């Protein structure tokens, strides 16, 4: 019965056995080889997507650059109206799209729906913002002059996304880019390509209904080779790339080489500091959801717990106890907390990380391992593991995109815990569990957490769209979603206007002719 419901969802979303754009009369139709998308949930083939060739890419860019000329001329609040319609359509399609996310990527159904909800939320945010792309008026030092700052659309925005948030990351970028007057070319992860086809089908219908060119939203499909078409393309002034630090290092350099801008959202190595006054009622669900939610495949997943030695045993026992309650299995079944990893390569990386941690002296508190037998045929289901470790272990210094939680102790003052928390190359999300106002404020101060996200008494994972999202150091420095993140999708222009009859120069310079 579940299979039938999934089939129904695929039909509603316009997913065909082979997706090349032609069946929907789409302008992005592609002619390359086929990518097969298998579900990590049950190992079944969901559908195939045709990849984008160099010629297909040129056609897409032609459509995108032409559409930009139309779109940038449309008043921003009218562009907001398109995003409003898109958000409403997502409300209607929340169930089928959430199901597809869960089935193709493997996250729990609740998290699949949550991801679509994030899309809806960013649309609402963007609609309001479409009337607030305000510049400033700046006092001029010259008489009879006025200075102001304007924000103009930047052009074609390239979006390269990771498999783990196969729809939300795209919408964080597009909802803002569209109200800003930009058009988007999206290369989704080759591990979740059908999610991108579904999203494209939804927005293409809306653009068509409004008499707008489909080039406002384009997809290109394939692996890093198609990504490279975007990163090396001088017609794309901004590349927003989400994925591993390894990818970001290459993409950032490639885009910088041609003086493009990049918005990098890369890996994290997120920690929770647990101080002597921490409330266990908050600590346990916060840490456990952070570590095992999405099977440890969130950029904000909790990787490290830094626990004060005076409460270490109590916290450890409570967390280990809670791991015993976690239900693993088909993520489409709402009673399960944790689904599979994305593929068997990810399973091997997980197994190797556990071995490496042991070899470096880690002590396993909750055993990992691969689940076998009925319901686990895809070979992608693993047990969340807990390992007592030290921060300097090489494996702890790296992000392993799987449910492995490292426990470590600190002693003395909170500053010692902050040093450990900051003692990794990544800088995405962090939190402190404490009832001490002084400890909390120290953690949030200039001398505290060095991450882009720093929380008090909530975990590291699960951000709201209202805030700017992103991290420092090897996480890449980019910010997207809320606050003033929209500014990266626009180009700033400073204007000086002279309404006097004289031509005074700045800094009082005399130039008499």
Q: Give all strands of the β-sheet with 18-19 in edge-to-edge order.
A: 18-19, 45-50, 34-38
Kindly state whether residue 399 participates in binding ligand NAD, applying the rule CB under 6 A: yes
Q: Does 252 bind ligand NAD (CB under 6 A)?
A: no
* CB-nearer residue toward ligand NAD: 82 or 188: 188
Structure tokens at 450: 């060095």
Q: How many other CB atoms are found less than 10 A from the CB of residue 258?
A: 12
Stretch that binds ligand NAD, among 176-184, 243-251, 285-293, 310-318 (CB under 6 A): 243-251
Which pair of structure tokens corresponds to residue 61? 């860019």
Q: Count Cβ atoms within 10 A of the Cβ of residue 291 and give its class: 0-12 exposed, 13-18 middle, 19 or more buried.
A: buried
Active site residue 111: no
Residue nearer to ligand NAD on the CB measure, 241 or 414: 241
How near is the Cβ of 410 to ligand NAD at its closest, in Å?
25
Q: Which is nearer to ligand NAD, 15 or 428 (CB)?
A: 428
> 10 Å Cβ neighbour count for 317?
11
Residue from 30, 51, 102, 164 touching ligand NAD (CB under 6 A): that is 164
In which element (H, E) is residue 3 found?
A: helix 2-12
Q: Is 174 helix (H, G, I), strand (E, B) or coil?
A: helix
Given candidates 475, 479, 481, 489, which one binds ligand NAD under the rule CB under 6 A?
A: 475
- Does position 251 interact with ligand NAD (CB under 6 A)? The reply is yes
User: Among 76, 83, 90, 299, which residue interacts with ligand NAD (rule: CB under 6 A)?
Assistant: 299
Q: How far apart are CA 382 and CA 402, in angstroms?
A: 9
We find the least distance from the C-beta atom of residue 413 to ligand NAD, in angstroms, to be 30
CA dist 33 → 37, 56, 223, 227, 290 (Å): 13, 12, 11, 16, 38
Out of 266, 417, 432, 465, name the contact with ligand NAD by CB under 6 A: 266
Q: In 35-108, where does DSSP find H-type helix? A: 54-71, 76-92, 94-105
Residue with Cβ nearer ligand NAD (10 or 299) = 299
Candidate residues 133, 180, 220, 247; the one interacting with ligand NAD per rule CB under 6 A:
247
- Tell me how many degrees the CA angle 198-329-301 measures, rounded to the nearest 5: 70
- CA dist 278 to 129, 284, 327, Å? 38, 10, 26
Instruction: Specify burial of residue 218 (Cβ count, 10 A radius: 0-12, 13-18, 19+).
Output: buried
* CB closer to ligand NAD out of 9 and 195: 195
Q: Which of residues 206-225 bind ligand NAD (CB under 6 A)?
A: 223-224
Task: Write out the binding residues for ligand NAD, residues 69-128 only, by CB under 6 A.
Answer: none
Choice among 111, 265, 399, 439 that is catalytic: 265
Residue 36: strand pairing partners: 48
Give the contact letters, 405-444, x = binds to ligand NAD (CB under 6 A), - = no: -----------------------x----------------
* Cβ count within 10 A of residue 391: 18
Q: Which CB sits closer to ligand NAD, 69 or 246? A: 246
Q: Is residue 305 part of the contact set for ligand NAD (CB under 6 A)?
A: no
Please compute, for residue 278, the number of CA atoms within 13 A of its CA located in the half-sphere on the CB side. 32
Q: Point out the residue whose Cβ comes nearest to ligand NAD.
A: 227
Provide, rounded to whole angstroms, the least separation between the CB of residue 162 and ligand NAD: 3
Q: What DSSP string runs through 246-302?
A: HHHHHHHHHHHHTT-EEEEE----EEEEE-TT--HHHHHHHHHHHHHGGGG-STT-E
CA angle 349, 405, 195 (to 5 degrees): 55
Does residue 231 interact with ligand NAD by CB under 6 A? yes
Nearest distance, CB of residue 461 and ligand NAD, angstroms: 11
Q: By C-beta, is 133 or 264 nearer to ligand NAD?
A: 264
Identify the residue among 115, 214, 265, 474 touching ligand NAD (CB under 6 A).
265
- Compute the residue count for the chain: 513
CB-nearer residue toward ligand NAD: 130 or 294: 294
**CA angle in degrees (0–180, nearest 5) for 491-247-37:** 105
Q: Which stretch binds ligand NAD (CB under 6 A): 111-119, 185-193, 270-278, 357-365?
A: 185-193
User: Which positions touch ligand NAD (CB under 6 A)?
Assistant: 160-165, 187, 189-190, 223-224, 227-228, 231, 242-244, 247, 250-251, 265-268, 299, 399, 401, 428, 475
> Residues with catalytic annotation?
265
């Amino acid at each position: 019965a579940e299979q039938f419901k999934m089939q129904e969802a695929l039909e509603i979303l316009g997913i065909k056995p082979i997706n090349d754009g032609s069946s929907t009369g789409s302008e992005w139709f592609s002619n390359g080889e086929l990518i097969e998308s298998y579900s990590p949930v049950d190992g079944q083939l969901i559908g195939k997507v045709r990849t984008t060739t160099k010629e297909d890419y040129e056609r897409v860019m032609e459509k995108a650059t032409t559409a930009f000329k139309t779109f940038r001329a449309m008043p921003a609040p009218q562009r907001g109206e398109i995003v409003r319609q898109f958000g409403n359509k997502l409300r209607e399609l929340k169930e089928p799209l959430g199901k597809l996310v869960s089935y193709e990527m493997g996250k729990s159904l609740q998290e699949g729906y949550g991801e679509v909800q994030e899309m809806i939320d960013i649309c609402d945010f963007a609609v309001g913002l479409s009337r607030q792309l305000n510049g400033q008026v700046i006092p001029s030092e010259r008489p009879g002059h006025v200075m102001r700052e304007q924000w103009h659309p930047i052009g074609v925005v390239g979006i390269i996304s990771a498999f783990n948030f196969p729809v939300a990351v795209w919408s964080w970028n597009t909802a803002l880019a569209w109200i800003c007057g930009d058009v988007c070319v999206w290369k989704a992860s080759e591990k979740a390509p059908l999610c991108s086809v579904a999203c494209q089908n939804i927005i293409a219908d809306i653009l068509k209904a409004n008499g707008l060119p489909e080039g406002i939203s384009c997809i290109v499909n394939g692996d890093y080779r198609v990504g490279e078409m975007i990163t090396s393309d001088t017609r794309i002034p901004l590349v927003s790339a989400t994925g591993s630090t390894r990818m970001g290092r290459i993409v950032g350099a490639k885009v910088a080489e041609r003086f493009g801008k990049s918005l990098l959202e890369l890996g994290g190595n997120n920690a929770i500091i647990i101080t002597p006054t921490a409330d266990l009622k908050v600590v346990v669900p916060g840490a456990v959801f952070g570590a095992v939610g999405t099977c440890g495949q969130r950029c904000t997943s909790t990787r490290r717990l830094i626990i004060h030695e005076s409460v270490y045993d109590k916290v450890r026992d409570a967390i280990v106890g809670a791991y015993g309650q976690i239900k693993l299995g088909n993520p489409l079944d709402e009673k399960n907390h944790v689904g599979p990893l994305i593929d068997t390569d990810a399973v091997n990386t997980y197994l190797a990380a556990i071995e490496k941690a042991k070899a470096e002296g880690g002590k396993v508190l909750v055993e990992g391992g691969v689940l076998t037998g009925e319901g686990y045929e895809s070979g992608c289901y693993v047990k969340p593991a807990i390992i007592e470790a030290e921060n300097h272990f090489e494996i702890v210094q790296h992000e392993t995109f799987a449910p492995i939680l490292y426990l470590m102790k600190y002693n003395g003052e909170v500053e010692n815990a902050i040093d450990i928390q900051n003692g990794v190359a990544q800088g995405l999300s962090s939190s402190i569990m404490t009832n001490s106002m002084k400890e909390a404020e120290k953690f949030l101060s200039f001398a505290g957490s060095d991450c882009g996200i720093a929380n008090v008494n909530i975990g590291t994972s699960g951000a709201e769209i209202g805030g700017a999202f992103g991290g420092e150091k090897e996480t890449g420095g980019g910010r997207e979603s809320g606050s003033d993140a929209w500014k990266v999708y626009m180009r700033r222009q400073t204007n000086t206007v002279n309404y006097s009859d004289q031509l005074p120069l700045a800094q009082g310079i005399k130039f008499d002719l």
